[in-house]
């Protein structure tokens, strides 16, 4: 995840313009550049060593760069696209944006597995000892948890119920356990479906001891990891759990995306809030108060959904791929910064 800088300093293989410098100037410039870029000495220290002013040192270093005597290369691992990452971060006002090269064989595949691997490394950077890490249900968060190999000691809590209670052990429950195992902290899983038949059943489940204990941690979460779904079959777990009639109803409200069972239109406004009453999930206003909310989502088919969720202001950071990033960079008018997290629709 960390970029590295390679600094090449040469006194003999400089470009043509640098060769206009005399040999003594070349040798001195190369020596000063070596002290500054490779040995980490300050301009004042270099000035004292060579018996010149620090202003002359600054001029020599500037000339060395202009005349190709010094070459600075910024390199990141091949799978990361630093330019797209920075552009995406700036466009949406995110705290962090990490764009991963889309696999050639799966450019349109939603949430390619390599997103989870990079997100695992990002969480290793963002989570501090004593934090409370929240994990929402989603294929991308499950891939992320499986790739985790380092986390400071922290508490891990599940933020949503599961897509299918019968597969809980292989899904988000296992993701919570895995993260807690890596960190050495406590795990608070939720053994319940995300979507219930009615609000009364959901309320009854929320009051059960194990689920209530997990809910108590929601207001303490400091870093959350969530997935994003498009409103279409196979790319949204909530969409797939609803009846045809229910899907049509929410589609009529203009739903374009879902995250943790919260629905959003194309402008990032929450719609269909009644659905939340039937769900075991963290509330939207709780998500908004979490200092760091990392969304993991990619693929061109998910780009419009990612755009919608980013416009909601609930997400502070994003891990995505080049296929989605290319669409996001041209997706409608420039959105308001995500770090301005006021709810445009009220509480």
Q: What is the CA radius of gyration of the chain?
A: 25
Q: In what order do the strands lie in the sheet with 187-188?
A: 96-100, 317-321, 292-296, 223-227, 132-135, 155-158, 187-188
231, pLDDT greater than 90? no
Does pLDDT of 71 surpass 80?
no
pLDDT at 67 over 90: no
Quote the pLDDT of residue 171: 67
Number of helices (H) and strands (E) in the chain: give both, helices first. Answer: 14, 13
Q: What is the mean pLDDT of residues 41-61?
A: 92
Assess contact for 34 and 26: CB atoms under 8 A: no
> 290 with 222: CB under 8 angstroms?
yes
Distance, in Å, from the CA atom of 114 to the CA atom of 322, rounded to the nearest integer, reads 12
Closest CA to 70 of 81, 59, 62: 62
> Is residue 1's pLDDT more than 50?
no
Give residue 137's pLDDT. 85
CA angle (253 as vertex; 247, 258 as ends), nearest 5: 65
**Which band of pLDDT confidence, cut at 50, 70 and 90, is reported for residue 208?**
very high
Residue 117 confidence (pLDDT) above 50: yes
Going by pLDDT thresholds of 50, 70 and 90, the confidence category of residue 76 is low
Helix (H) or strand (E) holding 175: helix 172-183
Residues 32/57, Cβ–Cβ less than 8 Å:
yes
256-312 residue pLDDT tens: 999 999 999 999 999 998 898 999 999 999 999 999 999 999 988 899 999 999 999
Does 7 score more than 70 pLDDT? no
Mean pLDDT of the 323-345 span: 76
Task: Using DSSP bridges, classify how beta strands 223-227 and 187-188 pair: parallel, antiparallel or unpaired.
Answer: unpaired
Q: Could you tell me which of 51, 60, 68 has the C-alpha nearest to residue 8?
A: 68
Percentage of the residues of the chain whose pLDDT score is greater than 90: 53
Q: Calculate the dihedral angle through the C-alpha atoms of 80, 141, 156, 182, rounding to the nearest 10 degrees.
A: -60
pLDDT tens column, 139-190: 888 889 999 999 999 999 999 998 754 444 456 788 999 999 999 999 999 9
pLDDT score, position 199:
92
The tokens describing 115, both together, are 């997103």
Structure tokens at 206: 């929320």
Interior/surface letters 268-287, b for 16+ CB within 10 angstroms, e for the rest:
bbbbbeebbebbbbbbbebb
pLDDT of 235 over the 50 cut: yes
Q: What pLDDT shows up at residue 8?
A: 55
Q: Could you tell me where the beta strands, DSSP code E, fall in the chain?
A: 4-9, 70-75, 96-100, 132-135, 155-158, 187-188, 223-227, 229-230, 257-259, 262-264, 270-271, 292-296, 317-321
pTM: 0.75
pLDDT in tens, 290-301: 999 999 999 888
Q: What percent of the chain has pLDDT over 70?
A: 84
Is the pLDDT at 3 greater than 80? The verdict is no
- Among 6-10, 39-43, 108-112, 316-320, the range scoring the smallest mean pLDDT is 6-10
pLDDT at 347: 44
Average pLDDT over residues 192-213: 92
Residues 121, 291, 130, 162, Cα dihedral to 10°: -70
Tokens standing for 333? 């008018």
């Amino acid at each position: 995840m960390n970029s590295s800088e390679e600094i090449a300093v040469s006194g003999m293989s400089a470009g043509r313009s640098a060769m206009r410098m005399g040999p003594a100037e070349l040798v001195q410039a190369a020596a000063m550049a070596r002290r500054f870029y490779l040995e980490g000495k300050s301009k004042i220290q270099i000035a004292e060593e060579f018996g010149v002013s620090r202003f002359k040192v600054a001029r020599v270093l500037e000339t060395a760069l202009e005349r190709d005597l010094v070459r600075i290369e910024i390199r990141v691992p091949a799978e990361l696209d630093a330019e797209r990452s920075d552009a995406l971060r700036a466009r949406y006002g995110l705290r962090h944006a990490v764009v991963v090269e889309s696999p050639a064989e799966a450019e349109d595949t939603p949430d390619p597995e390599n997103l989870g691997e990079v997100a695992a490394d990002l969480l290793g950077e963002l989570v501090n000892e004593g934090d409370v890490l929240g994990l929402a249900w989603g294929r991308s968060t499950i891939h992320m948890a499986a790739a985790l190999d380092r986390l400071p000691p922290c508490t891990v809590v599940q933020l949503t119920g599961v897509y299918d209670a019968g597969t809980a052990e292989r899904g988000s429950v296992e993701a919570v356990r895995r993260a807690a195992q890596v960190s050495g902290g406590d795990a608070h899983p939720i053994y319940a479906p995300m979507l219930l038949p009615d609000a009364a059943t959901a309320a009854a489940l929320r009051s059960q001891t194990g689920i209530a204990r997990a809910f108590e941690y929601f207001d303490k979460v400091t870093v959350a990891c969530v997935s994003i779904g498009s409103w279409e079959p196979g790319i949204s777990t909530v969409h797939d759990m609803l009846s045809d009639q229910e899907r049509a109803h929410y589609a009529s409200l203009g739903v374009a995306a879902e995250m943790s069972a919260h629905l959003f239109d194309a402008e990032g406004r929450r719609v269909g809030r009644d659905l939340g009453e039937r769900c075991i999930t963290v509330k939207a206003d709780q998500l908004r108060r979490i200092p760091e909310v990392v969304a993991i989502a990619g693929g061109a088919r998910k780009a419009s959904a990612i755009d919608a969720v980013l416009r909601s202001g609930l997400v502070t950071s994003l891990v995505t791929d080049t296929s989605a990033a290319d669409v996001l960079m041209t997706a409608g008018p420039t959105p308001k910064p995500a770090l301005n997290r006021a709810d445009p629709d009220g509480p």
